[in-house]
Each structure stands twice: as structure tokens, then as C-alpha cells.
Amino acid sequence: MAAWNIRGFNHPDKVFACKRLIQSHKLDLICILENRINILSFQDPFFEISHSLFPNEASCNNFALNSSGRIWIKWNASKICFKPTQISPQIISGFILVANQPILHLSAIYASNNQLERKELWEAIADIHASINLPWALMGDYNCCRFASDKLGGIPISMSSLADFNTMIFNNGLKDLTSVGLNYSWFNQRSDNPIHIKLDHVLVNDLWLESFAGSYCSFQNPSCSDHTPILLHSGNPLSHFSNSLKLFKECIKKEGWSSSNCVKKHLDALLGKQKSLLELLQMDHNNREINLSYKAINSEVANFLGQLGEVYWT
């Protein structure tokens, strides 16, 4: 599973980026956040088809509750089923079923950037917690962080905002799932006043930790968004890395080194450079030269994905 604040899902390059994430990590469910899609778009029969990500796709959204189109959950209906039990402007929550059996509870989060409105989300999470008897994962963009050290640059975080978030976590018996990858999940794309902050989290309950002891989450390359996608893995990181190497080796063996592979190599090189610059920024976030380079590579990635998306779209 994955959650990604894609910062708009209307353009073909965003669809292409999500498809690439799904194919690269063999995902069966993705929570797309900040879609910026109006519910009236679904009156066009072509719209939903052109924005599908799985061959046999099912989905649900909360677009009717917010004009900006906040959360859209899509899943591979050939393997799993997601049954929503609560839909509100900041959360979609429900059961994931396999062979008609509920195996876990998933909550997709896209919190408001307003502290008072977030309290409504904290109350909704408390209501869900009161009835939970399954492993529970809450993943997405909380629009706030847990610790002052989770933010580099900009105005210091208010203690009341930190307290609200941490109190909610404590009162509901939740924990931050072990993570690998990038430390900061959002960058404001500015070189004059760069801000890096961890807004995206995967929180889990004790039943989750007991049932999926080796699980962890990873913060991936942001690609064409200002947020990093979060992937939820069921195994331990070393095992996942070993399996990834095996899959990569198999892919190399199957390569025909055709012209299409040159496109993939160029995109991989751009994404690799983007990731390297982001890692440097997390050690020296005020470095103007690195921030300018990072902003430039973000534009290159977005432009290249846009070109690929136009080809895909046509």
C-alpha cells in the first residue's frame, strides 16, 4: 500500500507518476491525496477511465465533501477489497478484505492545514479507535509534525500544534511505524527561504505491531510532487532490499536495450539526482546552491514526466 500527496491529479504526468510507483513496487492499493479534482469531473465517462491506475480498479473518494478533491483511494479489485466505514473531509477509513475476510483497518489521512480544523480529525480518529479490534494503520499527510526537529527552516512550530498531534497519538495508543528513506517528506520548492518538514506519517496500533512485526514504511523519491510518497511494507527492510535486488536482476536479464529503455534510463538518472540532492539538503538545508539545484532538477523531472504523460495520454 502507499499514500502520496500528489499535489493535483488532473494532469497526465501525475497519472503516469502514480502508475510508475505502482508498477515499481507492485502495489495493490494507493491513497492519492490533494487530487484537486472537482466531483463534476466524473460526469465525463472518459475522465475516470483516463485516471485509472489498476487493470481491474475499484475506488472511493470524499470529493463530495470538499471542493478541492482531497482523498481518492484506488485498489486492485482482483486481489483485495476496501470497504469504507467512515468518510469525512479529512479521512477515509475502512476495512481491507482478502477473500471476503477483513484483515486490517486502514485510514487514509489528508489533514487540514488549519490547527482548529485538525481537531475535528483528531476527534474522528478517537471515534474510530473506540471500535477497532483489528490491526490498524493510519497513513497520509497530517499537515503537522511530532517534534520541533522535524522541521528545518521557516517559522518554528508552535508547541500547541505539536502537543495536539502527540496527545492524539498517545490517547489512541498509536505509534510511528519504523521508517527508512528520507527524513523530511515536504519541501516548499524555494531557494530563498527553504523549508523541509516531516508532514507525512504512518501510525499504527499495538495489534498491528503484533500481527505484522516486521512491517515498516519507506519515504520514496518525491518525483513530480513536493511530497514524498509513503510505502507500507509487510517484511523487514533487509529482506525487502534483497528481494528488490533479485527483481532488479531479473528485469535486467529481460531487457532488450531498445530505445524505450533509454527513456527509462534518463528518467531513472533524473530521479537519482533528485534523491541525492534531497539527501544533501537534509544535512545542509540552507545551502542556496543545493536548493537551486534541487529546484532545477524538480523542474526537469516534472517536464520530462509531462512529456511522457502526453505520449501516454494520446
Q: Tell me which of 235 and 29 has the higher pLDDT.
A: 29
Residue 282 belongs to some domain of the structure: no
Q: What angle do CA 132, 135, 141 make, to 5 degrees?
A: 90
Asked whether residue 284 is assigned to any structural domain, the reply reads no
Query: pLDDT tens for residues 123-134?
Result: 999 999 999 999
**Structural domain harbouring 203:** 2-253
Burial of residue 43 (CB within 10 Å: 0-12, 13-18, 19+) is: exposed
Looking at residue 236, its pLDDT comes to 54
More confident residue, 250 or 34: 34
pLDDT at 314: 46
**Arithmetic mean of pLDDT over the chain:** 89
* H helix intervals, 29-103: 45-50
For residue 261, count CB atoms less than 10 angstroms from its CB and return exposed for 0-12, middle for 13-18, buried for 19 or more: exposed
The tally of domains found in the chain comes to 1
In a domain, residue 215? The reply is yes
Asked if 1 and 32 count as a contact pair (C-beta separation under 8 A), the reply is no
Residue 303 domain-assigned (yes or no): no
**Mean local confidence (pLDDT), 41-47:** 89
Among 19-28, 55-64, 183-192, 305-314, which stretch is predicted with the lowest mean pLDDT?
A: 305-314
Residue 54 placed within a domain: yes
At 101, which helix (H) or strand (E)? strand 101-110
pLDDT-derived band at 246, boundaries 50, 70, 90: low
Where does residue 252 rank: exposed (0-12), middle (13-18), buried (19+ CB within 10 A)?
exposed
Task: State the amino acid at position 179 in one-letter form.
Answer: S
- CATH value at residue 229: 3.60.10.10
| Any domain includes 130 | yes
pLDDT digits (tens, 9 = 90+) for 214-226: 999 999 999 999 9
pLDDT of residue 243: 56
What is the 3 state secondary structure string of 111-128?
Answer: CCCCHHHHHHHHHHHHHH
Question: What's the pTM value of the predicted model, to 2 decimals?
Answer: 0.80
CA angle 156, 142, 127 (to 5 degrees): 125
Cell of 70: 482531497
Measured distance CA(83)–CA(60) in Å, rounded: 9
Of the candidates 68, 110, 62, which has an alpha carbon nearest to the alpha carbon of residue 90?
A: 110
pLDDT for residue 224: 92
Q: Is residue 274 part of a domain?
A: no
In a domain, 279, yes or no: no
Q: Which residue has the cell 486490517?
A: 104
Least confidently predicted of 21-25, 79-83, 203-207, 244-248:
244-248
List, for residues 141-164, the tens digit of each pLDDT value.
999 999 999 999 999 888 888 999
